[in-house]
Amino acid sequence: ISRRARWIILGVIVVLVAVRLALPSIVKAYVNRQLSRSPDYSGAIGDVDIHLWRGAYRIKNVEIFKTSGTVKEPLFAARQLDLSVQWKELFHGALVGEVVMREPRVNFVSGPTRAETQTGEETRWDKILESLFPFKLNRLEIRRGQVHFLNEHSSPRVDISLNDLFATATNLSNSRDLKIELPAGVEARGTAIGGGGFNLHLQLNPITGFPTYLVNVPLTNLNLGAFN
């Protein structure tokens, strides 16, 4: 091999290494920009880890806050988000992605004014989540999640919560092209306020323009006194 060829190979290696080292900063800036697209909410993340060998990247310490108002609790926060290619769907001819959320928390807030209320309904968060990944979202998994409904202005203060939430949503993009009315499914379980058990079984068609679903949500062994 000639000296010139060796220098070219070395140059290519240096460029590839430089691009790999710069990728986390580039992805972090892009994600922060996407999370702040809403006029009412702004988001920020911590570190980003890139895993090129498995077509994935990891976002740490995600927080999304309402900027147009006085609500202090984040609408959404998570210790970690893993976004990756769903490799087994390649065998079915579909290039789709999956997201795993670790310790996510959602806070819905009720208040006497719009500035003191937080629902997140003003923004299409599904579209923003999809923008963080170049493939259609087909699978979503939640580990140790929490959902809170808060009202700081009531007496007594209200904090109705669902804790230890584990959920899996599959076939959201119908990657296997199932010819059935409700091709996607969601299975979830958790602990409701008062120590009750929460179980959700949902079949739906997320592709249609109108709600099409069948849901079963039993609550068991619920201490109703906890709602007082």
Which residues lie across from 20 on neighbouring strands? none
| The Cα angle at residue 95 between residues 205 and 171, in degrees rounded to 5 | 25
Q: Residue 1 has what pLDDT?
A: 67
CA distance 168 to 137: 13
User: What's the chain's Rg over C-alpha atoms?
Assistant: 21
Cα–Cα dist 130/45, whole Å: 17
Cα separation of 100 and 83, whole Å? Answer: 7
Give residue 223's pLDDT: 80
> Would you tell me how many other CB atoms lie within 10 Å of the CB of residue 152?
14
Burial tier of 227 (Cβ tally within 10 Å: 0-12, 13-18, 19+): exposed
Of the candidates 109, 187, 204, 199, the one whose C-alpha atom is nearest the C-alpha of residue 147 is: 109
Q: Rounded to the nearest 5 degrees, what angle is found at the Cα of 226, between the Cα atoms of 223 and 228?
A: 125
* Alpha-carbon 109 to chain mean position: 19
Q: What is the pTM of this model?
A: 0.83
pLDDT at 222: 81
Query: How many residues comprise the chain?
Result: 228
Amino acid at residue number 11: G
Whether 216 and 193 have beta carbons less than 8 Å apart is answered as: no
**What CA–CA distance (Å, rounded) separates 15 from 20?**
9
DSSP H helices, the chain, are 3-35, 125-131
SS3 168: strand
Beta bridge partners of 21: none
Question: Residue with structure tokens 């240096």?
Answer: 14
**pLDDT tens, position by position, for the chain (228 residues)?**
677 777 777 787 777 777 667 778 888 888 888 888 888 899 999 999 988 878 889 999 999 999 988 899 999 999 999 999 988 888 878 888 999 999 999 999 999 999 999 998 878 887 788 788 778 889 999 999 999 999 988 888 888 899 999 999 999 887 777 788 888 999 999 998 888 899 999 999 887 777 789 999 998 888 877 766
